[in-house]
A and B are shown apart, each in its own frame.
Chain A
Amino acid sequence: MLKTERRCAKVKARIKFRKYGVMRFIGHLDVMRYFQKAMRRAGIPIAFTGGYSPHMIMSFAQPLGVGVTSDGEYLDIELKEDIDPARAVRQLNDVMAEGMEVVGFNRIPDDKKSSGMTIVAAASYRVTLLVSARSANVTRTFPDSWEAKIEEFLNQKSIVVLKKTKRSEAEVDIKPMIYQMRMEDEGIYLFLAAGSEQNLKPDLVMRAFTEFIKEDPGRVPFHYHRIDMYARTPKGTEASGRFISLGKL
């Protein structure tokens, strides 16, 4: 590890942000562009790659689907020089559009193991039931029977769905990727596998559930809200369970 020690350690930071309101209609690629411009407006001393067209060293954790809101989005950046986290948050929030709020700016160690892109392992969601697909703000209460039905749904031996990717369609058993699913006061809580190894989107779970209870998907429109994203706790540290919020690493 001599090589690593000799090298000048880079300053890296993990930014946590919320995405809500009309910003839910901005897709992932545009959110990336949005933050590139926001970094310049905020005067964050972000580092660049070399070459003829240098670009900011910035990587996002899991993309968020269009229409989905979130309280737990993350991006990692490399800094040219250190900056006070509280000041960075303030400077960024001064230049945000309504519907984007920076809620955390933490320095993270400079090693591949900590990179936000690769360590994401799970994500939590809250699913609300809407009166109509026309508005994500007008919700209705879930039928009482759904609590029992969720249990039945999870008690199946397997939950096979047709998963479409850009290249192919395949039948996949999503049951092992549903870590938790339960009815709460605010809606259905989902804790799902996420990241590059295994990834399960919440709408796929709810589609399978809707089919399971033989409801017409057109009549039960949902809104999805991501609560947070998690990594697995590092080996050897037997802290508080298997997952830890990316913001707490």
Chain B
Amino acid sequence: MRKLALNDEILLKIEKPARYIGNEVNSVMKDPEKVDIRFAMCFPDVYEIGMSHLGIQILYDMFNRREDVWCERVYSPWVDLDQIMREEQIPLFALESQDPIRDFDFLGITIQYEMCYTNILQILDLSGIPLSARDRDDSVPIVIGGGPCASNPEPLAEFFDLFYIGDGETVYDQLLNAYKENRIAGGSRKDFLEKAAQIEGIYVPGFYEVTYKDDGTIASFTPVNPHAKQVIKKQMVKDLTHTYYPKAPVVPFIKVTQDRVVLEIQRGCIRGCRFCQAGMLYRPTRERDVETLKQYAYQMLKNTGHEEISLSSLSSSDYSQLKELVTFLIEEFKGSGINICLPSLRIDAFSLDVMGKVQDIRKSSLTFAPEAGSQRMRDVINKGLTEEMILDGAGQAFAGGWNKVKLYFMLGLPTETEEDMREIPRLADRIARRYYEIPKEERNGKCQITTSTSFFIPKPFTPFQWAKMYSNEEYIARAAVVKHEFQEQLNRKSLKYHWHDAEVTVLEGVFARGDRRLAEVILAAYRLGCLYDSWTENFDNEKWMKAFADTGTDIGFYNLRERDVGEIFPWDFIDIGVTKEFLYQEWQRALRGEVTPNCREKCSGCGAMRYKGGVCVEDREEVRQGEGTN
């Protein structure tokens, strides 16, 4: 029997011991003596969040198909165990073997959101790995980062040996082979990093030097090792059908956030919303073959025993075979008590019909994400959605029996005026009016329109990467304008309003577009005790503000200035396919309120065409009419 890293006394004292014992159905056990490479795959958040991430499941499956690799999982210990591990000096361990991470060859960390950065330091610290990459010797694992935040890895540059830029399915084999070769040749850590630097898509931050101008912006970003490339090219799986996909994902014992089979139907999005980073990073949009997905659905439900299946994509309604897939799932599985989840669907006759079949209309709510209240603002962000579409969709839904609607908006978008803010409650009210147009005897009581606003954060590789953000106080003031306007509405009793925290927004903004000097701030915050910053109950803004003050770092430099057209961004050395020229052109169109058609309507020459995949090479005969989205 496996020996656990934590003793019984600890396991019976902490919350949810099942987070730390491994042994789940479909987890992979191997003989450590029979593999060449031990890979620890980490999601730096609590188990329930980390286990819900599809990307890690794909990589876990892909690595473990190799006989010479054993990939295991590790997540952030929750705060209760964190404290015990520090007190008793228990090294962080992997779930499968329960062996210390420090003895692994690789520690791979997926970086999904900015507010996990202190958790990354926790993982390194508890593992006994020096926090700074320059302090590491041959005895500790190679620390590699990936995921969406690796598209601007600079704030974390100090803490990582390598970053993998782009889809994980492409060059990991090359990287692992290089590692083995280097070991056989008796090469050092630095020798391996030099080999890695020559692989496309692999970035070795230690091989670059950054200089700054007097105003704080970047003067130069230069490779200082002959093996380091000037530009790092994003990796992309051209054919999403013939690649890795986990047919038997690990089944957790405890309830996790995504406790279901997940079918990734496509990667990327044709829409080109100007605030959306994923929409640019994952270009071109690639679909997975519908017949393959049907097979996966069978196999994955059988192998996991899950009672729910969900589609995953940025915009499911744009999947060309959606009708066929959804009809299949309903006909095939509804009878055997399988729930079917259809997130990110545009509200139209088809989606209302299928949603009526898979959920209880009386209990469920419909979601619209207009993102902005006024048409002018929606044109600025290139959200191809008109008020007419929203009201029509809501009207059809109300006629179908729904009476709960959720609306999502952003505040603080570029060029936003007070009028734009006030349009948010007015739109919510017009939706409610549409409901009350239905004769009283035909409707189902009152309607409930719930509006949530978050604050816009400009992200790298989007047309809004030049935009400025606002102060905490300004964000709160904007939310107050909206709140006040809600009270003026005719149907205010049917309208609810929530807004997101502004303090976290400010920090996310800093790190999203930050440079490598921010490592100091992250380290200072961690030393002050910041951890699990994405958890409201743990977030401590005062400590963060102290970390900025102690390191003499000015938040305003990162958030409060509009960036100049000529500015060198910290992430400019990465080539995601979409060109900076296209993004700048989109930024200018945004300021003029000009809409850009989606990829199926008309190619706008973003640059992703050079990957020669997905929507860029679709048969133009099959091009459908752009139907707008929500």
Contacts and interface: CB of A to CB of B under 8 A. Distances in A.
A216 B184 CA distance: 57
Interface string B364-401: 00000000000000000000000000000000000000
Interface in A52-96: 52-56, 66-67, 95
Nearest to B251: A37
B303 interface: yes
Interface in B1-48: 1-2, 4, 7-12, 17-18, 21-25
A36 interface: yes
A41 B12 contact: no
A54 B337 contact: yes
A217 interface: no
Interface centre among B10, B11, B307 (most CB of A within 10 A): B307
B18 A25 contact: yes
Contacts of A26: 18, 253-254
A56 B337 contact: yes
B8 A40 contact: no
Nearest to A136: B8
A41 B8 contact: no
Contact of B305 (A41, A53, A66): A41
A60 B404 CA distance: 36
B11 A25 contact: yes
A39 to B, nearest CB: 7
A206 interface: no
Contact of A41 (B1, B24, B254, B302): B302
A52 B360 contact: yes
Q: Which one of B8, B25, B360 has the greatest number of beta carbons of chain A within 10 Å?
A: B8
B305 A48 contact: no
Interface string B336-368: 010100000000000000000001100000000
A95 B7 CA distance: 27
A184 interface: no
A34 B18 CA distance: 12
Contacts of A134: 7-10
Contacts of B302: 40-41, 43
Interface range for B: 20 to 34
B78 to A, nearest CB: 15
A6 B246 CA distance: 49
A48 B23 contact: no
B401 to A, nearest CB: 13
B165 to A, nearest CB: 36
A98 B12 CA distance: 20
Contacts of A52: 359-360
A136 B10 CA distance: 12
B301 interface: yes
Given A41-B302, A97-B23, A36 B9 contact: no
Contact of B23 (A38, A54, A99, A133): A99
Interface of A is mostly: loop
B303 A41 contact: yes
Interface in A1-40: 21-23, 25-27, 30, 33-34, 36-40
A198 interface: no
Contacts of A158: none
Given A55-B337, A135-B7, A39 B305 contact: yes
Contacts of A23: 23
B8 A38 contact: no
Residue from B12, B253, B301, B304 whose CB has the most chain A CB atoms within 10 Å: B253
Contacts of A136: 8
Contacts of B17: 25, 66
A71 to B, nearest CB: 16
A247 B142 CA distance: 54
B23 A98 contact: yes
A172 B219 CA distance: 78
Interface in B269-316: 301-307
Given A25-B18, A30-B18, A95 B305 contact: yes
B12 A67 contact: yes
A23 to B, nearest CB: 7
Contacts of A67: 8, 11-12
B305 A37 contact: yes
B602 interface: no
B360 A53 contact: yes
A41, A43, A55: residue with the most chain B Cβ atoms closer than 10 Å: A41
Contacts of B307: 36-37, 40
B609 to A, nearest CB: 44
A33 B253 CA distance: 8
B255 interface: yes
A16 to B, nearest CB: 20
A43 B305 CA distance: 9
A101 B18 CA distance: 18
Given A25-B17, A30-B254, A37-B304, A48 B337 contact: yes
25 contacts: A21-B23, A22-B2, A22-B4, A22-B21, A25-B11, A25-B12, A30-B18, A33-B253, A34-B253, A37-B304, A38-B305, A39-B305, A40-B307, A41-B25, A41-B303, A43-B302, A52-B359, A66-B17, A67-B11, A97-B253, A98-B23, A133-B12, A134-B9, A134-B10, A135-B7
Interface of B: 1-2, 4, 7-12, 17-18, 21-25, 251, 253-255, 301-307, 337, 339, 359-360
Top 7 closest pairs, chain A to chain B, by CB: A37-B305, A134-B7, A40-B305, A41-B305, A25-B17, A52-B360, A133-B9
